Amino acid sequence: RASAPRPGEQARGRMTASVDGGYVLLESSSPDVTRAIGEEFGRVLRPGDIVVLEGDLGAGKTTFTQGLARGMGIGDAVTSPTFVLARELGREEGLIPLTHVDAYRLTSLGEWDDLDVDIENSVVVIEWGERIEDVLPVDRVHVRLTETGDARAVRIWAPDDSQRRLFDAIRAAVT
């Protein structure tokens, strides 16, 4: 990890962290810091990992995903997949694919199945994923972004111990 800059060092603004056994709570003071947190997060992801992003409109879910993609080495521009529902990035570059899904516009759980997301061979990031969590594997990590005045709170947790490897790696990367 010595070669990877800490999120607060590589971005304008500041990041503070507190760790509890079950979750990590970070504070991001700017979009650059939110991207930097996502970048550190992205460095530890591997195929089969599912990240559920939660937060109100404008909370920073796509900004976080931009950093996450950068941490995975993906140079593609990351934009919200609101109207296309799902966008795959990185495969053409020979990298682990990132499937970026926006579940906000899904009107049924069947529409999730229709997307035919390759969960086993890609990293899957799902904005508004709490809307479809009943059909998602339980081995996933959640990231909730919340506005807190001039900053964003970024809370990271796993619903059970099935993703302890990923949660522990993320905790080590961002704190």
Residue 2 — pLDDT band, cuts 50, 70, 90? very low
Tokens at residue 94, please? 């020979």
Residue 74 has pLDDT above 50, yes or no: yes
pLDDT in tens, 9-33: 444 445 555 566 677 888 888 999 9
In this structure, the strands spanning 98-102 and 123-127 are parallel
* pLDDT above 90 coverage of the chain, percent: 27
Which two structure tokens, joined as six digits, stand for 11?
């971005």
Q: What is the DSSP letter of 103?
A: -
Q: Which residue has better confidence, 90 or 168?
A: 90
Q: Give the pLDDT score at 8.
A: 40
- Can you tell me the distance from the alpha carbon of 175 to that of 7, in angstroms, rounded to the nearest whole number? 9
Nearest to 106 by CA among 129, 124, 72, 125: 129
Condensed to tens digits (0 to 9), the pLDDT of residues 92-151 reads 788 999 999 888 877 777 777 778 888 889 999 998 888 878 777 778 888 999 988 888
Amino acid at 124: V
Rounded to two decimals, the pTM is 0.82
Query: Chain-wide mean pLDDT for the chain?
Result: 80
Highest mean pLDDT among 13-27, 35-49, 158-172: 35-49
